[in-house]
Amino acid sequence: MKPAVRIGIGFDFHPFDEGQGLFLGGVKIPHSKSLHGHSDADVLTHSIIDALLGAASLGDIGTHFPDNNPRYAGISSLTLLTQTFELIRDKAWLVGNVDVVVIAEEPPINPYRDAIQDKLSEILRILPGDISIKATTMEGKGPIGRKEGIAVQAVVLLYKEV
């Protein structure tokens, strides 16, 4: 019998848009721009949602929360994460840990890391220390390096108690 453990990978990118501030992991981060998207464009939370859905073999974020549905216009990505968590819990999955890499030239992530971990841990019912958030740059190369947007990659571990 194989162990009841699954790994999921998520990736998302959102371009910058005019605005004042952006959301990462549900935390409002001051910035001279916002991120463009149908919801609140929280690229970090979106990548985690895709990783969770992938690990549970439940499709992807676009399947459950299509960007052409007006119901999701401007919605908080934490609401979408909560609904995703309920979907995986309905299949008896629990979250073991989350590992995230934010790929951006700006804004800096370190000052907001603890607040992001706290917000996400409440929804995913894990300890803040079970969520790793790292940041890297593209050293001035490509669209991210030109400060055109932010990308995030997430990996999650799901398990079932047997």
Distance CA 67, CA 60 (A): 12
φ/ψ of residue 146, rounded to 5 = -85, 10
- Spans of all domains in the chain: 5-159
Which residue has 């803040």 as its token pair? 128
Contact 78, 44 (CB under 8 A): no
**CATH number of the domain located at residue range(s) 5-159 in this protein:** 3.30.1330.50
φ/ψ of residue 94, rounded to 5 = -120, 150
What DSSP string describes the chain? ---SEEEEEEEEEEEEEESS-EEETTEEE--SEEE--SSS--HHHHHHHHHHHHHTT---HHHHS-TT-GGGTT--HHHHHHHHHHHHHHTT-EEEEEEEEEE-SSS-SGGGHHHHHHHHHHHHTS-GGGEEEEEE--TT-HHHHTTSEEEEEEEEEEE---
pLDDT tens string, the chain, 162 residues long: the values are 667 999 999 999 999 999 989 999 999 999 999 999 999 999 999 999 999 999 999 999 999 999 999 999 999 999 999 999 999 999 999 999 999 999 999 999 999 999 999 999 999 999 999 999 999 999 999 999 999 999 999 999 999 977
Q: Global pTM?
A: 0.96
**Structure confidence at residue 107 (pLDDT):** 96
Distance CA 78, CA 46 (A): 9
Which residue has 């971990």 as its token pair? 117
